Structure 1
Amino acid sequence: MSALRTERLLNLLIALLNTRYGLRRSELREKVYRDTSSSEVAFGRMFERDKSDLRQFGFEVETVMDQGWGSDDPATTRYRIGKESNRLPDVNLTSAECTVLILAAQLWEQAALGSAAQNAMRKLQAAGGLTEAELPAGVQPRIRPAGQAFEDLVTAMHAQHPVTFRYLAGSTGREELRTVEPWGLGSRFGQWYLVGLDRGRAAKRFFRLSRFTSAVTVREKERYSPPPGFNVRKELDSLPELPVQSAIVDVASGKVLGLRKRATGAPTAGMPVETHDGGWDRLTVPFRDAEVLGEELASYGPNVTVVAPPELVSAVRRRLKAAADFAASSSPAVVFPDNPPAKRPRKRTSEDQLQRMLQLVPFLVHNQGLHISEVASSFGVTRKELEDDLRILICSGLPEGYPDDLLDIQWEDDHVYITQDLDLNRPVRFTVDEACALLTGLEALNGLPELAEGSALESVTVKLMAAAGEEGLKAASIAGPEVGPGNSAHLATIRQAITDGLQLHLKYFSAQRDSMSERDVDPLRLYSLDNTWYFEAYCHSARDLRNFRLDRIETLEPNGRRVTEAAKPADGFPVKLFTPNDDDALVIVELAPQGIGLADDYYAERTAPLPNGGLIAEIRFGSTGWLPMFVAQHGGAVRILAPQGLADAAGEWIDAALARYGG
């Protein structure tokens, strides 16, 4: 969509909103389109495309026929947009309900539905539905979807486009190309699943996203219709949990303490497995999904060798082989654009601009006099982008109207005011993405101890379902994970210490260092990724901020001392799992198409797109010793380009691991 088309659509929308009886196509062609060169047939096609675009933004164009005439006669057919049918109904929320809703919206901060959640909250704010709310002390739950595949599947599902991807079938162990009509995405048993029609088998199938072995390709020229009344949570409720199996693994003596802690018994206790390169211990480790455990075991490189079952051996070897092949392929030229953003941006389109402008007018009506930089920050754009929007808006209005028939917006003193809104003063109804983002987020909060069922969580869900209407029913296509903690006792202890301002003493297992340590910390904030909970704290041993996983804490108790003045949380939301410092090592990595989401996960400072859909990213790492594990774990999705020493170390780590499986 070009900028001229954006402006034309805005003028068409204003014209159709501000007519009582409707406008004929000839009137629209003359006054809005100012079209005199194209044929009637060509203009008709253009008009139908524009009607479709307006429908996409939530405005349904009504057809009104003169009495006694048919709709196939352009001279007697009129068009208009009802002022009420397309608007978001009034939603009045209490302070407690706003608290719950803000938590639900923040769940998607870095996910595919993050921008949709922000758009939905802006609409509620523009409608006057949000009130002052105080978030629970130090609690920030988040959902972490399954990488780039999740992003692409959400986009395809809501646009109703089929997708193709390579998939490792659990029943046969074969890797196959699948073409699927995506009906729903949901989290179950700690895994994300796609439910849809497998065209090759002409039947409904479930696909674990952890078994995708390629990027998702969206077939944008094809469409499909999902089954009526589809509910992904009900579908996943019928899915049996995978049975517990036993893995036999050999582990280098004194290594991989985390895996040893999960071992059930010691079948060779006192009988270490002797090899030519030192002592090894044979462990039995329970697991359900070979792909999930295979990702972890691949990261341990030459310190672990899988003995059985064959499916797990294959899962580990395949990842190591993919990492080795990616490292051995030809390297692209490393060229970053000038003045790059700190975060990999999503490509902005004219559709984004029009959608933003439709939110901007009611936002300004209900927030008169805001500083222009504050408005730009609220919409996540630069000041220049916002001013470009405002310049289009002030030139838009009724066809051939007087000055009073144009949108009137002023910002000469850097404070923005709007005095003429032309019936764009109320936000349009929720889109499917927006309804999904909020309603799925609310559902995911059910297990959070601070939000008891039957209270604000239930009431705000009912209100949003009523406001979302048909789009709210479509939100059943996504089901997020429950974000309740596995160890509520640790969470309660940390929350109380944060409230009371007391230090904590903990015994903690560090997976990167493969060691146990005891620390005194000043607890600052709790947050989660799915149902994995962390807390941010000032560590007195490290003399810096650190993040600790609750499921890796051995013991936890107050030490009786008050927190120190050094205890200050990191700026901004969300809490970063990795906080880069200026003296950290700069590492340049190449990300395959299926791994480009890692650039956001690790807060890349610079990125450059590659022709194959991949990405080059420059990332700061405080500790580089674990990067070979990182490369092996992601099996072919990432490789190190520079410094060369790190790239060589990762290659040697992977080669040594592959040697244990015959090379």
Structure 2
Amino acid sequence: MSTSDPLSRLLNLYLLLSNASRPLSLAEITDHIGGFPDSPEARRQAFERAKRDLKALGLPITTVAHPQTSGDAYLVTKKEEARIAPMLNLDEAFALAGAMASVQFGNESGLDSARKLGCVWEGERIELAYVPRVPLVSQFFEAIQRYRVVRARYHNIERRLLPFGVLFRWGTWYLIAREEGQLLVKSFRIENFDPDIEITSEEFDPGDRVDVSTVLPESPTSVRWEDEEIVELEFPQEILSIVIDRLPQLVVNTIDNKTVHASAAISGFGAFVSILIEFGDQVELVAPPRARGRAFDLLSRSLEFQTVVLEEETEYIEEYQSLIAAELSPSTKKAGRESGTSKFKRIMSLLPWLYRNPNTTTQEISLLFGIPESAVGGLLETVACCGLPPFTPDQLIEIIVDGDEITARISEDFASGLRLGATDLFVAALSAKLALAHGDFVGQKELTSAIGKIFDVFGLDSDLSDSLVLDVEGTRNLTEIRRAQGDKKSLRFGYFSLTNQAFSERHVDPLRLFVRDGHWYLLGWCHSSEALKTFRLDRVAEVVVLDEAISVFPTDEELNATDFNFGSDQDVDSVLLVIDSNSSWRIARIPHRTIQSTRNPSYLVAEVNIVSKIWLRNFVASSVGDVKVIFPNEVVAGLRDALFKLRGRFG
């Protein structure tokens, strides 16, 4: 079948090469499916573009020697993973889709990975967890499950690593591994690896299981970066449990007139100062004088960088303002046509689902796959003209569109969908881990079975107990809150608010628990403010379950529409900042976009979304001279004053 339509050409090319009995030359390919330019050079260029498009979608074309001419020939190797979609039963597919729909991994929803498995979530998408994404974490995870040695460069040193697990703690991803030839198991911050790592073919014997969760201490203030120092603190008794959550090594010495006098052994001083900053004037560093002086010096570095005027600062601001003006221009808002590659990706996600659901409607496909309802029929009619040579009816993808009704007869050969990559496997494992830990997830048995089948197909160890550890902070009151939520009872608790850095009593109807950036949060109706509010659980003091029924029942739509700025009080929602290029990890977990500039490679310029002015002050203060806010001007002026006052607490 000859067609120059990019979608048809990609689909026919993939189907031909993945079902061919031997590798095919470019001449044989073009003879079989047509649709390529007549000119040999243009034909070659079109084929190379198609190869790149398929590789980007996880469907690489392999180049081998032609069995007869010894010239180049091509094939797509069908792997066993192509059989995952038909392998999962409906309950397993539904459970897996529900788990993956509830997890956001960086900017990507697990829904895309679920669709590759033919698993589509048909309900309301409820985000139960958001976990920041960093490069390499999924590749390291695959190496762990395969027991493969990894070659990687860390802090400019080439290393051969035996990886045991990935650990998410303190909002950061760590690799837990042993360097080859050494006995000590270490933690490596994944953000600090060079981007090019090699998963070798060398397997290693993991020996006894490594308890990944114990390699790092509970608190970053206990990391052995320096000699331990004993500090003395004072704070109100009402926030005692909250302070202990942040400083587990705290020792209470006395309690006098509702004031706690305590001490703590600190070896991670920078992390300790960040915690002090977070509590504002509620926690006082009393002694020793040396510790107060160190805190003063750290904050001085942040204040000095915020005060200095960079040579390129005005140009950065002008570049940013030009970008904003261009985005607001009507000429930039014209919607472009969807590319053939994008349509192909949609189709390859849709075919496994049609294999399971042969009778459907245009409305259902539009809702589940984000395709405009008016475009569904035309897209499927194009697909129905694709298949295998000689393109007789029995070799075509059988899809009948009758008005809004759709009938599909998809063979297993056409139902494999997109190839799963390392990121898809990691998202599946991450989603399962978070969903099973959540407690409210329905279908835990089916989800466990689905993960087991997927990992077995890939020859991976499906035991995730040690290889993937998620340390989510704020579990102290989790059981009581879940009980109240299940019984539909109200709660009363004390809460320390980051927005105003004050402690207050709250009366709350618990509605939804979720995880974000390594912390448990409660979304509930606050009777004190008569509004939906979010509460970070490690800032919640003791919880009391009231003998009082929940009285407010927002819809899922209302809950999903809640602004998760967590009590934002600012009149601006983003700022422009300059950051030391070696410290870009500081904004990796914050919603931002890079404003590309090559004027000074030492700096990165970025627009960063902010929660509140207090949050911004704390973020800049904790950066120890790596971050400078340069726009808007009123925020810059207020930030300098706030940093000066904050430093004054220690000097």
Per-residue Cα deviation, 1:135-178 (whole angstroms, up to 9, x for no partner)? 9xxx9752534xxxx4223377589998777x6xxxxxxxxx55
Q: Give the structure 1 partner of residue 488 of structure 2.
A: 501
Shift of 1:544: 0.5
Per-residue Cα deviation, 1:97-140 (whole angstroms, up to 9, x for no partner)? 5676356425641436x44x3234224445xxx899999xxx97
Q: Give the structure 1 partner of residue 526 of structure 2.
A: 539
CA distance in structure 2 between the aligned counterparts of 1:178 and 1:380, rounded to whole angstroms: 46
Question: Which letter maps to 1:193?
Answer: Y
Shift of 1:296: 2.6
1:118 matches 2:118: no
Shift of 1:543: 0.9
Q: Give the structure 2 partner of residue 91 of structure 1.
A: 87
Q: Give the structure 2 partner of residue 194 of structure 1.
A: 175
Cα 1:71/1:53, change in 2 over 3 Å:
farther
Q: How does 1:325-404 map to 2 (within 5 A)?
A: 325=305, 328-329=309-310, 330=313, 331-333=316-318, 334=321, 335-336=323-324, 337-338=326-327, 354-367=344-357, 375=365, 378-379=368-369, 393=383, 396-398=386-388, 401=391
Question: Which letter maps to 2:272?
Answer: L
TM-score (norm 2): 0.69
Cα 1:618/1:411, change in 2 over 3 Å:
farther
CA distance in structure 2 between the aligned counterparts of 1:319 and 1:415, rounded to whole angstroms: 66
C-alpha contact (below 8 Å) 1:405/1:422 kept by paired residues: no
Cα 1:132/1:396, change in 2 over 3 Å:
closer
2:276 to 290, 297, 303: 297
Q: Give the structure 2 partner of residue 548 of structure 1.
A: 535
Question: Which letter maps to 1:237?
Answer: V
1:587 matches 2:596: no
C-alpha contact (below 8 Å) 2:118/2:417 kept by paired residues: no
Question: Which letter maps to 1:616?
Answer: E
C-alpha contact (below 8 Å) 1:510/1:516 kept by paired residues: yes
Q: Give the structure 1 partner of residue 137 of structure 2.
A: 154
Q: Give the structure 1 partner of residue 641 of structure 2.
A: 652
C-alpha contact (below 8 Å) 1:186/1:192 kept by paired residues: yes
CA distance in structure 1 between the aligned counterparts of 2:302 and 2:179, rounded to whole angstroms: 26
1:571 matches 2:558: yes
Question: Which letter maps to 2:428?
Answer: L
Matched residue of 2:87: which SS?
coil
Q: Give the structure 1 partner of residue 100 of structure 2.
A: 105
Shift of 1:462: 2.6
RMSD (Å), alpha carbons: 5.8
2:620 to 631, 639, 642: 631
C-alpha contact (below 8 Å) 1:397/1:406 kept by paired residues: yes
Per-residue Cα deviation, 1:158-204 (whole angstroms, up to 9, x for no partner)? 89998777x6xxxxxxxxx55668886611665631357989x9999
CA distance in structure 2 between the aligned counterparts of 1:442 and 1:58, rounded to whole angstroms: 25
1:73 to 70, 73, 85: 70
Q: Give the structure 1 partner of residue 422 of structure 2.
A: 432
Q: Give the structure 2 partner of residue 274 of structure 1.
A: none
Shift of 1:646: 2.7
CA distance in structure 2 between the aligned counterparts of 1:354 and 1:309, rounded to whole angstroms: 65
CA distance in structure 2 between the aligned counterparts of 1:196 and 1:64, rounded to whole angstroms: 40
C-alpha contact (below 8 Å) 1:140/1:527 kept by paired residues: yes
Q: Give the structure 1 partner of residue 146 of structure 2.
A: none
C-alpha contact (below 8 Å) 1:537/1:547 kept by paired residues: yes
1:28 matches 2:29: yes
CA distance in structure 2 between the aligned counterparts of 1:59 and 1:122, rounded to whole angstroms: 19
Question: Which letter maps to 1:28?
Answer: I
Question: Which letter maps to 1:522?
Answer: D
Q: How does 1:159-178 map to 2 (within 5 A)?
A: 177=156
Question: Which letter maps to 1:87?
Answer: R
Q: Give the structure 2 partner of residue 285 of structure 1.
A: 264
Question: Which letter maps to 1:427?
Answer: G
* Count of matched residue pairs: 599
C-alpha contact (below 8 Å) 1:534/1:550 kept by paired residues: yes
Q: Specify every segment of 5 or more residues in structure 1 that has no aligned partner in the other structure, as ranges.
A: 168-176, 271-279, 341-347
CA distance in structure 2 between the aligned counterparts of 1:497 and 1:477, rounded to whole angstroms: 31
Shift of 1:645: 2.9
Q: Give the percent of matched residue pairs that are identical in Structure 1 and Structure 2.
A: 18
CA distance in structure 1 between the aligned counterparts of 2:40 and 2:162, rounded to whole angstroms: 40
Cα 1:125/1:627, change in 2 over 3 Å:
same
Per-residue Cα deviation, 1:60-97 (whole angstroms, up to 9, x for no partner)? 769898xxxx666349x7957659774326334475x5
Shift of 1:538: 0.8
C-alpha contact (below 8 Å) 2:176/2:215 kept by paired residues: no
Question: Which letter maps to 1:500?
Answer: D
Question: Which letter maps to 1:585?
Answer: D
CA distance in structure 2 between the aligned counterparts of 1:61 and 1:514, rounded to whole angstroms: 59
CA distance in structure 2 between the aligned counterparts of 1:498 and 1:71, rounded to whole angstroms: 69
Per-residue Cα deviation, 1:8-47 (whole angstroms, up to 9, x for no partner)? 443321223454566455312444474664489x959967
Bigger mean CA deviation after superposition, 178-187 or 530-539: 178-187
Q: Give the structure 1 partner of residue 333 of structure 2.
A: none
CA distance in structure 2 between the aligned counterparts of 1:305 and 1:483, rounded to whole angstroms: 27
Cα 1:598/1:133, change in 2 over 3 Å:
closer
2:452 to 462, 480, 485: 462
Cα 1:29/1:472, change in 2 over 3 Å:
farther
Shift of 1:541: 0.9
CA distance in structure 2 between the aligned counterparts of 1:94 and 1:418, rounded to whole angstroms: 18
Matched residue of 1:151: which SS?
coil
Matched residue of 1:527: which SS?
strand
TM-score (norm 1): 0.68
Q: How does 1:259-274 map to 2 (within 5 A)?
A: 259=243, 264=250
C-alpha contact (below 8 Å) 2:134/2:588 kept by paired residues: no
Matched residue of 1:586: which SS?
coil
CA distance in structure 1 between the aligned counterparts of 2:354 and 2:94, rounded to whole angstroms: 23
CA distance in structure 2 between the aligned counterparts of 1:474 and 1:351, rounded to whole angstroms: 36
C-alpha contact (below 8 Å) 1:260/1:283 kept by paired residues: no
Q: Specify every segment of 5 or more residues in structure 2 that has no aligned partner in the other structure, as ranges.
A: 144-149, 330-337, 599-603
